[in-house]
Structure 1
Amino acid sequence: MAVSNKTDIVVDYLVVGAGASGLSFVDELLTRTSASILIVDKRDRPGGHWVDSYPYVRLHQPANQYGVQSKELSNGRLDERGLNKGLSDLASGVEIEAYFHTLMRDTFLPSGRVTFLPSTEFLPDGTLRRGPSGQILTVQIKKRLVDASYYTNIIPLNHTRPFAVENVTCTPPNNLPNVAKDFTNFTVLGAGKTAMDTCLWLLEQDVDPARIRWIIPADYWFFNRANLQGSLEFFAESIEGFAGMFESISEAKNASDFALGCERAGIWMRLDPSIEPKQFHAATLASREVEELRRIQDIVRKGHVTKIEAHQITLTHGIVEAKPDTLYIDCTASCLPDKPSVPVFQPGKIVLQMVRYPLIPFSCAKIAFLESLEMQDEERNSFTTPMRFTKNLDGFIPAFGINLENTAREKQHPLLQNWLWQSRLDTFNRLEAAVKPEDGEKLAQLGRLQTSFMAAYGNMPKLIASLESSATY
């Protein structure tokens, strides 16, 4: 279809992607500026990967730390039952999708400054193609193109399966609740949070653990959710947990020192105490969830699956006999693509990336706030060095080093520091701001956090240097 000679849309910012990243950026920009904003997304509604997620998905982290700055996702309650009992509530995928829908309907569109075009693709030549109609629109962008799709999630429903399947049923987790009743045995493929969610869902449905096989290509460390609550009710756990993590960094000589130190501090956990993981991907679990996962005894650790047949499963490090009448659940999608970091602020363009580990919505809100300030891109980029979601410890440690550097630089800019103190998505600045001058115990805990942060900041270059010969990030 030909492009018309006229400009169809004139706008200050064109945001490509209506997931958590793009909407968090737009929310902050809408609050801080008078800009006009066009949002486009290939999907037919806002929410990004949550639109395509499996039905039993939930946030890893407390709901009070997710979403956009202007609208609470959590209602402030603690879960009263289940494996997350006693901890801040976790939003379900349905709740998150509804949250983004009402954000668009009740906040963005009524502002008169936001236009949303669903089922619309941003083409390489800068034009837009509207879904079923195929209509081509031209856009004049007066300020910036905002790429909120650079790190588009790779999820089970739409990823390319990396192994062959013959004469067995293999499904993404999206279909599991509908077809589980038709099978005797279940084999879960993958070691990440999706696989953990799937194992937990089966166990919650009272499936006998003996009927579940779990194929784990590699063991991972994961965050202990009890230390990531970010509310005054859990002040000591939150502050002391991260102080322990910083102290581990300050004392570590290698990746193993660091990981084991985080475990001793109670902020990291592992599935099998006899196996020391070499991987970390920021999955977050409650201790009860770990206990539940340990009920599964049939765990295969022979690398990645390369082929599944009715009688056997072939892996990179061996072959195992297949169980009869088995449903295979493919949870092997890698979540985020392995793409290089690029400057966030570029001429005429912003590429949204993670600049606070592992808080992506916060990162995008911070980027929008910096965009609203009168400063040069070189200065903006000095506060927003991006980091990648790496899978192995040798990659995570340098990424967390960038995190420390970004955090240290934030404290040097008064306007940015003031914004951080008011940000509902910045857990630790929010907790610090809530402490009263007469609360000596909490002030002492904050003092420990600050001291440990500076010690970690000082030792991080040495720790990174010790990894350079063997790192694979």
Structure 2
Amino acid sequence: MAASNTANITVDYLVVGAGVSGLSFVDELLTRTSATVLIVDKRDRPGGHWNDSYPFVKLHQPASQYGVESKELASSLIDVHGLNKGLSTLASGPEIISYCMTVMRDRFLPSGRVTFLPSSELLPDGTIREAASGKVWTVKINKKLVDAAYYSNVIPLQHTRSFQVDQVTCIPPNHLPSRAQDATNFTVLGAGKTGIDTCLWLLERGVDPQRIRWIYPGEYWYFNRAKFQGLLEFFVDSFTTLVDMYEGIGKATNARELALANEKAGVWLRLDPSIEPQQFHAATLAPREVEELRRLPDIVRKGHVTKIDAKQITLTNGTVDAKPNTLYIDCTASCLPDKPSVPVFQPGKIVPQMIRYPLIPFSCAKIAFLESLDWSDDERNKYAQPLRYPKNLDGYILSEAINMENRARENQNPILQRWLAQSRLDVYTKLTTEVRPEDMEKLALLGRMQESFMEAYKNMPRIVESLESGAVF
């Protein structure tokens, strides 16, 4: 008799998605509760979208600010070479995948409270089907379904192009290392994180800037990574940055004034000093990376690509002649899907989202901590207002307003303050606990930060009121 191809399982939480968001939630839940968890993911191993990312991808933020609470992604080292020299170490895609697999192997599975079903899918009827075997699981959930895949990233390898391609070679950046030797010229499509990474990869591999064309559809503000290190050796500069940001918010009357104040303080950067950006996607660059990108002489500012053929590139605001033997690299995928924010805590369900800008893993850990408390969902949601990555400057203001509201409420709750003080992922709060009572300089700086935050918090509604209806997330 053939073995049954069905199984039953009872767990406290069913988590859909084994990316860093889902892992961060489960990690904190294991620490704070005795809950049992079933994790389901369509991919064959943990790590989420990192499994499909291009080979030269790196975090744009310091590695020390990423991952799960219980385990560092990378040691708090300083890079000694390259464009990130002198700043906190970044992490590559393969490093992040290895890290996620280690967390699953050494932390989750040995606990005896986590079951992981890779290459599996939650079906509309609530059952789970394993792709390879066809085995179907019936799941009884004692507490909640956790949709950690609600904001799954849209990555270049999988997205659908919005433009036509005729008689030219257009590839995702995943294939660039194996195809680069066949091209005379390169055209990079897209000005987001992926486009930036692709341009920098070509330049770092010694490609003559004259051979690189960059289709740059809009002007962007970028975070200056040097100002957001979050390590003890960068204490003064890091908290001075926060003071500068909050003072800028406290004095600004509109989004433009805030942006220019951030630039003056060195908090934000732009590619072309002569063009004032209107877009902001939260991409983060080191000053050396900006200098490197400015070496590119052929930056096309004529909007988005609509068609590419052997003779020309057609854009929303004009055309340019195509160069011979050009390899086109499609970096136009939008990082996150266009989904509305929804309440994080719902009856029988949790939808992890960003509640601390721009720290998604920290947000998911905090959500798990809130779930561990004996509070109602309404009370939890007071401290977990979701926000989104913006697409323009006004959208940034709206996200930052929600971010500040979440921070203000945290500051009023002793339970959350105690948790934040020990949180590895909330690097700034943890740094404040390491200040010695006799260190008057640092204490004075923290006092300035608190004062500037309150002034910014009071003034933020004024800036929000000044926004036009065109704020885009």
Query: SS in structure 1 opposite 2:71?
Result: coil
Question: What is the one-letter code of the residue matched to 2:57?
Answer: V
Q: Give how far 1:468 is off.
A: 4.1
1:30-57, Cα deviation, whole Å (9 max, x unpaired): 0100000000000000000111110001
Query: SS in structure 1 opposite 2:176?
Result: helix
Q: Is the 8 A contact 2:390 2:472 kept in 1?
A: no
Q: Give how far 1:85 is off.
A: 0.5
Paired residues for 1:443-458 under 5 Å: 443-458=443-458
1:104-137, Cα deviation, whole Å (9 max, x unpaired): 0011000000010000011122111111222221
Question: What is the one-letter code of the residue matched to 1:363?
Answer: S
Label 1:26 to 1:472 Cα distance change in 2 as closer, same or farther (>3 A).
Answer: closer
Equivalent residue, structure 1, for 2:304: 304
Equivalent residue, structure 2, for 1:412: 412
Larger CA deviation: 133-142 vs 293-302: 133-142
Instruction: For 2:471 and 2:312, locate their aligned partners in 1 and report how far apart those are by CA, in whole Å.
Output: 35
Instruction: For 1:440 and 1:205, locate their aligned partners in 2 and report how far apart those are by CA, in whole Å.
Output: 47
Equivalent residue, structure 2, for 1:431: 431
1:59-91, Cα deviation, whole Å (9 max, x unpaired): 100010000000011212100100000111001
Instruction: For 1:343 and 1:469, locate their aligned partners in 2 and report how far apart those are by CA, in whole Å.
Output: 23
Equivalent residue, structure 2, for 1:206: 206
Question: What is the one-letter code of the residue matched to 1:442?
Answer: K
Instruction: For 1:134 and 1:164, locate their aligned partners in 2 and report how far apart those are by CA, in whole Å.
Output: 38
Question: What is the one-letter code of the residue matched to 1:125?
Answer: D
Question: What is the one-letter code of the residue matched to 1:34?
Answer: S
Instruction: For 2:72 and 2:278, locate their aligned partners in 1 and report how far apart those are by CA, in whole Å.
Output: 36
1:264-316, Cα deviation, whole Å (9 max, x unpaired): 11111010101111111111110000000000010001111000001100001
Q: Is the 8 A contact 2:5 2:134 kept in 1?
A: no
Instruction: For 2:184 and 2:250, locate their aligned partners in 1 and report how far apart those are by CA, in whole Å.
Output: 50
Equivalent residue, structure 1, for 2:391: 391
Aligned residues: 470
Query: SS in structure 1 opposite 2:378?
Result: helix
Paired residues for 1:255-270 under 5 Å: 255-270=255-270
Equivalent residue, structure 2, for 1:80: 80
Equivalent residue, structure 2, for 1:96: 96
Instruction: For 2:286 and 2:19, locate their aligned partners in 1 and report how far apart those are by CA, in whole Å.
Output: 26
Instruction: For 1:358 and 1:22, locate their aligned partners in 2 and report how far apart those are by CA, in whole Å.
Output: 17
Equivalent residue, structure 1, for 2:339: 339
Paired residues for 1:226-265 under 5 Å: 226-265=226-265
1:213-254, Cα deviation, whole Å (9 max, x unpaired): 000111111110111100110011111112111111111111
Question: What is the one-letter code of the residue matched to 1:132?
Answer: A
Paired residues for 1:104-119 under 5 Å: 104-119=104-119
Q: Is the 8 A contact 1:170 1:330 kept in 2?
A: yes
Larger CA deviation: 447-456 vs 291-300: 447-456
1:291-342, Cα deviation, whole Å (9 max, x unpaired): 0000001000111100000110000110110000000000000000111100
Instruction: For 2:275 and 2:444, locate their aligned partners in 1 and report how far apart those are by CA, in whole Å.
Output: 36
Equivalent residue, structure 2, for 1:460: 460
Q: Which runs of 5+ in 1 are unaligned?
A: none
Q: Give how far 1:472 is off.
A: 4.1
Instruction: For 1:373 and 1:7, locate their aligned partners in 2 and report how far apart those are by CA, in whole Å.
Output: 32
Q: Give how far 1:7 is off.
A: 6.4
Query: SS in structure 2 opposite 1:455?
Result: helix
Instruction: For 1:7 and 1:393, locate their aligned partners in 2 and report how far apart those are by CA, in whole Å.
Output: 50
Query: SS in structure 2 opposite 1:161?
Result: coil
Q: Is the 8 A contact 1:14 1:145 kept in 2?
A: yes
Equivalent residue, structure 2, for 1:15: 15
Paired residues for 1:130-145 under 5 Å: 130-145=130-145
Equivalent residue, structure 1, for 2:42: 42
Instruction: For 1:468 and 1:461, locate their aligned partners in 2 and report how far apart those are by CA, in whole Å.
Output: 14
Question: What is the one-letter code of the residue matched to 2:276?
Answer: E
Equivalent residue, structure 2, for 1:166: 166
Q: Is the 8 A contact 1:185 1:324 kept in 2?
A: yes
Question: What is the one-letter code of the residue matched to 1:434?
Answer: E
Query: SS in structure 1 opposite 2:167?
Result: coil
Equivalent residue, structure 1, for 2:153: 153
Instruction: For 1:112 and 1:225, locate their aligned partners in 2 and report how far apart those are by CA, in whole Å.
Output: 40
Equivalent residue, structure 2, for 1:370: 370
Instruction: For 1:462 and 1:468, locate their aligned partners in 2 and report how far apart those are by CA, in whole Å.
Output: 13
Q: Is the 8 A contact 2:15 2:148 kept in 1?
A: yes
Q: Is the 8 A contact 1:222 1:270 kept in 2?
A: yes
Instruction: For 1:58 and 1:169, locate their aligned partners in 2 and report how far apart those are by CA, in whole Å.
Output: 25
Equivalent residue, structure 2, for 1:191: 191
Label 1:144 to 1:44 Cα distance change in 2 as closer, same or farther (>3 A).
Answer: same
Q: Is the 8 A contact 1:242 1:267 kept in 2?
A: no
Query: SS in structure 2 opposite 1:8?
Result: strand
Q: Give how far 1:470 is off.
A: 4.4
Instruction: For 2:101 and 2:462, locate their aligned partners in 1 and report how far apart those are by CA, in whole Å.
Output: 46
Report the TM-score when normalising by structure 2: 0.98
Question: What is the one-letter code of the residue matched to 1:177?
Answer: P
Query: SS in structure 1 opposite 2:67?
Result: coil
Q: Is the 8 A contact 1:7 1:140 kept in 2?
A: no
Question: What is the one-letter code of the residue matched to 1:226?
Answer: A
Equivalent residue, structure 2, for 1:284: 284
Q: What's the C-alpha RMSD, in Å, of the aligned pairs?
A: 1.2
What is the aligned-residue identity percentage? Answer: 70
Label 1:52 to 1:470 Cα distance change in 2 as closer, same or farther (>3 A).
Answer: closer
Query: SS in structure 1 opposite 2:442?
Result: helix
Equivalent residue, structure 1, for 2:181: 181
Instruction: For 2:157 and 2:244, locate their aligned partners in 1 and report how far apart those are by CA, in whole Å.
Output: 38
Instruction: For 2:275 and 2:298, locate their aligned partners in 1 and report how far apart those are by CA, in whole Å.
Output: 16
